[in-house]
């Protein structure tokens, strides 16, 4: 690609692409290509000017080389189904043309034509008011219609036109807010699957999703996303498809059932014959689901919206009463010019949208405004341990073998089973096998995964189990070889243990080092200062390990060797005690609790089902994202309540000044509309200072 460097400073380049015209799609391709270059921290492409701004922390030469190799055709696959660029352009143009038409009409349209245009435009607003009245509802539409009608009857076409102009701007901004919220949320929920298990004859092969063709058979197990649409040809599974259909309960899938991309297997496994490859329209399905839900609105936002309608009878009553008492139509009309609805209905959604947008700067993905409100109101926080308070990348520290088994063989066997399930402990075993260059080809029959316990399979006609102490020794009844009892009793206490048994006899104990996040203690301490009264840790790990971690991080309570249902039960009990609860987790076993909490937060690198069920997803890199989330949520609620107070006080002041004759109706309308625009612009600014 030919381009010219317009400006350069340390770690930043501004370039101009040498082409006559850049389409929106081409701008998206270039932007996603630039963002995928190693060392590029951010990139923005401006299609109107053909410019791009690149921020980087790598060698400048690498950026120049990458630019010279760029091709639109070769990089189209980098762009997701929707990017938001076209939507933003559509509404930017709408706003621009609306403002320009208003200026042109004011400056160049002769008075008779200006009056006629105002009368024609008023029909739509008057009809809305009449329709509201016919339905027996006294709502904002009726107040707007009355204000416009009275202004025109008094011959004040300029005021009537100003009111309609501001209403039009409000409608555009409100529609843009809603559609952008839905668009951002839908893209957040869209698939992020790179690899899938392909069934080829009797083998399972991990391949790129780009290599899958229609008719291929893929295997999906507990905790995994269904990556592509298709029909179940083998197995049974219960599938959570709330993100597609909105159904709250999981749906059973068996042979002949149809599975949708983006749904999550809660339990079981199945083989799916692919019907549609990537880009099968999950985005549109999600949009429909969101449109039908109230997920985006917080309770405070909803309350403000309804308050606008509830104030209408008082505004109309005040107008009539003022006229009856004073006989002055000008004073009476000044009340109609002050419409609470514009500011209430516009500034609140904009504040929420701004908070959701700002959260992405801190690697936080929020699925709706009401979850930010829940974070602000929460007084209890529950942490899972593994992958949450500890790093999401534990590693194998030691392997202790039993019953004469060899270390390399037990690790090979463990990795063969563990690679099928998305959990940080399983990843540690698989990575250790890779590090030792142990190839673990599929040599087992079907794998059964017991959530929060372990895995069971048949290898060479022998039953093999791997998992927790409870699963291996209590549920499966496996035994320790007598001659190895002393070795078992002296397993290192500082590690978590994963037990592998073959034919009912312990074969190995894999010692997992799961280091505590260095920031965990500071994060919990800071959250308490921000209003969290109770911090709890719940883990399936042993009492010994849990006690040490709990003391280090400073939680108020801890629970060890818990099952998924125990975490959910604890949250239900907290709700009965009148507490608002946040749950943070990353695994399949955290899903019931994430669903039960007022706000469920998943770690980005965790299991697919945890991310799907959670209301909020935070980066796995740094737990301080939780502090940013809490601060941002608190700031949002302060802004919403501040907006609410300002709107009520300022507009009541305008009404008082209008009724007393100090302000004419046109000035009241101007000040009211100006304050609405100013408040809306303020609501779109960042909540947290950099």
Do 301 and 258 sit in the same domain of this protein?
no
Using alpha carbons, select from 218, 217, 229, 223 the residue that is nearest to residue 267: 223
Residue in this structure with the two tokens 């895995």, named with its chain if needed: 455
Q: 616-619 contacts: CB < 8 A, separation 24 or more?
A: 616/364, 616/365, 616/366, 616/367, 616/371, 616/375, 617/188, 617/364, 617/365, 618/363, 618/364, 618/365, 618/584, 619/362, 619/363, 619/364
Q: Cα(162)–Cα(458) distance, rounded to whole angstroms?
A: 77
Do 300 and 177 sit in the same domain of this protein?
yes
In a domain, 26, yes or no: yes
Alpha carbons within 13 A on the beta-carbon side of 183: 17
Do 306 and 167 sit in the same domain of this protein?
yes
Question: CB–CB of 463/456 below 8 Å?
Answer: yes
> Of 339-348, 382-391, 401-410, 658-667, which one has max mean pLDDT?
401-410
Question: CB–CB of 479/506 below 8 Å?
Answer: yes
68: its two tokens: 């010279």
Residue in this structure with the two tokens 């612009």, named with its chain if needed: 681
Segment 61-74 mean pLDDT: 91
Q: What is the CA radius of gyration of the chain?
A: 31
> Model confidence over 454-478: pLDDT tens digits?
888 888 888 999 988 888 998 899 9
In which band, very low, low, confident or very high, does the pLDDT at 580 lie, cut at 50, 70 and 90? very high
pLDDT at 262 over 90: no
> Model confidence over 138-193: pLDDT tens digits?
777 888 888 888 888 888 888 888 888 878 887 887 778 667 766 765 665 555 56
| Comparison of pLDDT for 460 and 689, the residue scoring more | 460
Question: CB–CB of 631/688 below 8 Å?
Answer: yes
What pLDDT, on a 0 to 100 scale, did the predictor assign at position 493?
A: 75
Listed in sequence order, the residues at least 6 apart from 30 whose beta carbon sits closer than 8 Å to its beta carbon are 17, 22, 45, 52, 70, 72
What pLDDT, on a 0 to 100 scale, did the predictor assign at position 473?
A: 92
Using alpha carbons, select from 637, 623, 533, 530 the residue that is nearest to residue 584: 623
Listed in sequence order, the residues at least 6 apart from 108 whose beta carbon sits closer than 8 Å to its beta carbon are none
pLDDT at 216 over 60: yes
**Residue that finishes a domain, picked among 620, 645, 662:** 620
Segment 58-69 mean pLDDT: 91
Question: CB–CB of 157/135 below 8 Å?
Answer: no
Residue in this structure with the two tokens 């069934």, named with its chain if needed: 199
Q: Which domain holds residue 200?
A: 195-277
Question: CB–CB of 350/175 below 8 Å?
Answer: no
Do 403 and 509 sit in the same domain of this protein?
yes
b/e per residue 666-685 (b: at least 16 CB within 10 A):
bbbbbbbbebbbebbebbee
What pLDDT, on a 0 to 100 scale, did the predictor assign at position 294?
A: 45
What pLDDT, on a 0 to 100 scale, did the predictor assign at position 422?
A: 61
pLDDT at 54 over 80: yes
Rounded to two decimals, the pTM is 0.69
> Model confidence over 120-133: pLDDT tens digits?
999 999 998 899 88
Question: CB–CB of 261/248 below 8 Å?
Answer: no
Q: Cα(35)–Cα(79) distance, rounded to whole angstroms?
A: 11
pLDDT at 483 over 50: yes
pLDDT at 309 over 80: no
In a domain, 449, yes or no: yes
Q: State the total domains in the chain.
A: 5
DSSP string, 420-487: TS--HHHHHHHHHHHHTT------BS--EEETTTEEEEEETTEEEEEE-HIIIIIIS--B--GGGHHH
In a domain, 19, yes or no: yes
Measured in degrees and rounded to the nearest 5, phi and psi for residue 246 equal: 85, 0
**Residue that finishes a domain, picked among 19, 45, 79:** 79
Q: How far is CA 486 from CA 480, 542, 686, in A?
A: 10, 20, 61
Measured in degrees and rounded to the nearest 5, phi and psi for residue 216 equal: -70, 155
Question: CB–CB of 28/19 below 8 Å?
Answer: no
What pLDDT, on a 0 to 100 scale, did the predictor assign at position 405?
A: 93
pLDDT at 596 over 70: yes
Q: Cα(517)–Cα(184) distance, rounded to whole angstroms?
A: 30
In a domain, 523, yes or no: yes
Do 601 and 544 sit in the same domain of this protein?
yes
What pLDDT, on a 0 to 100 scale, did the predictor assign at position 375?
A: 95
What pLDDT, on a 0 to 100 scale, did the predictor assign at position 156?
A: 81
Do 41 and 116 sit in the same domain of this protein?
no
In a domain, 122, yes or no: yes
Helix/strand/coil (H, E, C) string of 609-642? HHHHHCCEEECCCCCHHHHHHHHHHHHHHHHHHH
Do 525 and 505 sit in the same domain of this protein?
no
In which band, very low, low, confident or very high, does the pLDDT at 77 lie, cut at 50, 70 and 90? confident
Q: How many CB atoms lie within 10 A of CB 589?
A: 27
Q: How far is CA 287 from the centre of its chain?
A: 14
Q: Cα(463)–Cα(182) distance, rounded to whole angstroms?
A: 49
Helices 111-134 and 85-108: angle between axes, nearest 10 degrees:
130
Segment 477-487 mean pLDDT: 93
Do 521 and 602 sit in the same domain of this protein?
yes
| Comparison of pLDDT for 208 and 639, the residue scoring more | 639
In which band, very low, low, confident or very high, does the pLDDT at 519 lie, cut at 50, 70 and 90? very high
- Strand, coil or helix: what is 194? coil
In a domain, 111, yes or no: yes
- Residue 51: its H or E element: strand 51-56
Do 171 and 262 sit in the same domain of this protein?
no
Q: Cα(524)–Cα(533) distance, rounded to whole angstroms?
A: 10
**Residue that finishes a domain, picked among 28, 54, 79:** 79
Average pLDDT, the chain: 84
Do 587 and 603 sit in the same domain of this protein?
yes
Lowest mean pLDDT among 427-441, 567-581, 631-645: 427-441
Number of helices and strands in the chain (H, E): 24, 24
What pLDDT, on a 0 to 100 scale, did the predictor assign at position 214?
A: 85
Q: Cα(571)–Cα(573) distance, rounded to whole angstroms?
A: 5
Q: How far is CA 306 from CA 299, 340, 345, 647, in A?
A: 11, 11, 9, 14
Listed in sequence order, the residues at least 6 apart from 93 whose beta carbon sits closer than 8 Å to its beta carbon are none
Helices 85-108 and 157-189: angle between axes, nearest 10 degrees:
170
Do 51 and 100 sit in the same domain of this protein?
no
> Model confidence over 363-380: pLDDT tens digits?
888 877 889 999 999 999
Q: Cα(596)–Cα(594) distance, rounded to whole angstroms?
A: 6
What pLDDT, on a 0 to 100 scale, did the predictor assign at position 442?
A: 62
**What CATH number does the domain containing 443 carry?**
3.40.1110.10
632: its two tokens: 């941002």
Strands 380-384 vs 581-585: parallel, antiparallel or unpaired:
parallel
Do 169 and 302 sit in the same domain of this protein?
yes
b/e per residue 19-54 (b: at least 16 CB within 10 A):
eeebeeebbbbbbbbbeebeebeebebebeebbbbb
pLDDT at 118 over 60: yes
Lowest mean pLDDT among 148-157, 305-314, 388-397: 305-314
Residue 454, beta-bridge partner list:
450, 467
**What CATH number does the domain containing 17 carry?**
3.30.70.100
**What CATH number does the domain containing 246 carry?**
2.70.150.10
In a domain, 356, yes or no: no
Q: How far is CA 355 from CA 123, 298, 351, 620, in A?
A: 37, 12, 6, 21
- Strand, coil or helix: what is 22? coil
In a domain, 211, yes or no: yes
Q: Cα(102)–Cα(418) distance, rounded to whole angstroms?
A: 65
In which band, very low, low, confident or very high, does the pLDDT at 279 lie, cut at 50, 70 and 90? very low
Q: How far is CA 589 from the centre of its chain?
A: 20
Residue in this structure with the two tokens 């599974």, named with its chain if needed: 237
**What CATH number does the domain containing 601 carry?**
3.40.50.1000
């Amino acid at each position: 690609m030919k381009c010219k460097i317009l400006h350069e400073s340390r770690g930043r380049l501004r370039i101009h692409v040498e082409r006559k015209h850049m389409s929106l799609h081409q701008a998206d391709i270039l932007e996603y290509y630039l963002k995928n270059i190693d060392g590029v921290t951010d990139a923005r492409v401006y299609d109107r000017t053909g410019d791009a701004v690149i921020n980087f922390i790598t060698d400048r030469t690498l950026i120049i080389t990458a630019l010279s190799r760029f091709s639109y055709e070769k990089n189209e696959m980098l762009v997701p189904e929707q990017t938001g660029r076209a939507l933003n352009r559509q509404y930017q143009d709408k706003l621009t043309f609306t403002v320009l038409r208003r200026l042109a009409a004011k400056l160049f349209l002769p008075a008779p034509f200006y009056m006629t245009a105002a009368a024609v435009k008023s029909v739509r607003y008057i009809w809305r008011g009449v329709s509201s009245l016919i339905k027996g509802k006294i709502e904002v539409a009726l107040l707007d219609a009355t204000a416009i009608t009275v202004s025109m009857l008094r011959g004040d076409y300029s005021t009537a036109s100003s009111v309609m102009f501001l209403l039009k701007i409000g409608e555009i901004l409100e529609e843009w807010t809603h559609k952008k919220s839905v668009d951002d949320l839908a893209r957040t929920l869209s698939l992020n699957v790179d690899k899938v298990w392909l069934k080829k004859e009797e083998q399972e092969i991990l391949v790129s999703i780009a290599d899958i063709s229609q008719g291929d058979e893929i295997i999906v197990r507990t905790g995994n996303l269904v990556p592509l649409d298709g029909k179940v040809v083998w197995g049974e599974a219960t599938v959570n498809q709330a993100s597609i259909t909105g159904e709250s309960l999981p749906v059973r899938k068996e042979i002949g059932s149809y599975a949708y991309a983006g749904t999550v297997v809660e339990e079981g496994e199945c083989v799916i014959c692919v019907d549609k490859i990537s880009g099968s329209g999950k985005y549109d399905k999600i949009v429909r689901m969101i449109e039908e839900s109230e997920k985006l609105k917080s309770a405070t936002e909803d309350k403000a919206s309804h308050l606008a309608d509830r104030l209408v009878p008082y505004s109309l009553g005040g107008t009539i009463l003022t006229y009856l008492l004073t006989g002055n139509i000008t004073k009476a009309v000044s009340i109609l010019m002050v419409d609470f609805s514009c500011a209430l209905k516009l500034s609140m959604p904009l504040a929420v949208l701004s908070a959701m947008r700002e959260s992405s700067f801190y690697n936080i993905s929020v699925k709706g405004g009401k979850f930010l409100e829940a974070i602000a109101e929460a007084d209890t926080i529950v942490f899972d341990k593994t992958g949450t308070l500890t790093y999401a990348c534990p590693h194998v520290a030691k392997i202790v073998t039993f019953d004469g088994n060899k270390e390399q063989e037990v690790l090979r066997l463990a990795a063969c089973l563990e690679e099928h399930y998305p959990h940080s402990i399983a990843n540690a075993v698989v990575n250790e096998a890779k590090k030792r260059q142990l190839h673990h080809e599929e040599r087992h029959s079907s794998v059964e995964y017991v959530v929060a316990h372990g895995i069971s399979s048949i290898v060479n006609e022998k039953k093999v189990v791997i998992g927790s102490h409870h699963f291996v020794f209590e549920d499966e009844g496996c035994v320790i070889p007598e001659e190895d009892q002393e070795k078992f009793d002296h397993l290192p206490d500082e590690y978590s243990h994963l037990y592998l048994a073959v034919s009912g006899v312990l074969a190995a104990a894999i010692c997992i080092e799961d280091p505590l996040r260095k920031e965990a203690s500071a994060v919990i301490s800071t959250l308490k200062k921000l209003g969290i009264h109770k911090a709890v840790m719940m883990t399936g790990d042993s009492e010994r390990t849990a006690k040490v971690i709990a003391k280090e991080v400073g939680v108020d309570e801890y629970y060890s060797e818990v099952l998924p249902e125990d975490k959910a039960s604890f949250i239900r009990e907290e709700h009965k005690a009148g507490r608002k609860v946040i749950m943070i987790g990353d695994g399949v076993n955290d899903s019931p609790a994430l669903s039960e909490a007022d706000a469920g937060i998943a770690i980005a690198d965790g299991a697919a089902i945890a991310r799907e069920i959670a209301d909020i997803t935070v980066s796995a890199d740094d737990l301080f994202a939780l502090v940013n989330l809490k601060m941002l949520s608190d700031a949002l609620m302060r802004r919403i309540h501040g907006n609410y107070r300002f709107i009520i006080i300022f507009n009541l002041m305008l009404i008082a000044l209008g009724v007393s004759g100090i302000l004419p109706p046109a000035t009241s309308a101007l000040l009211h509309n100006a304050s609405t625009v100013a408040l809306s612009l303020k609501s779109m600014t960042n909540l947290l200072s950099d």
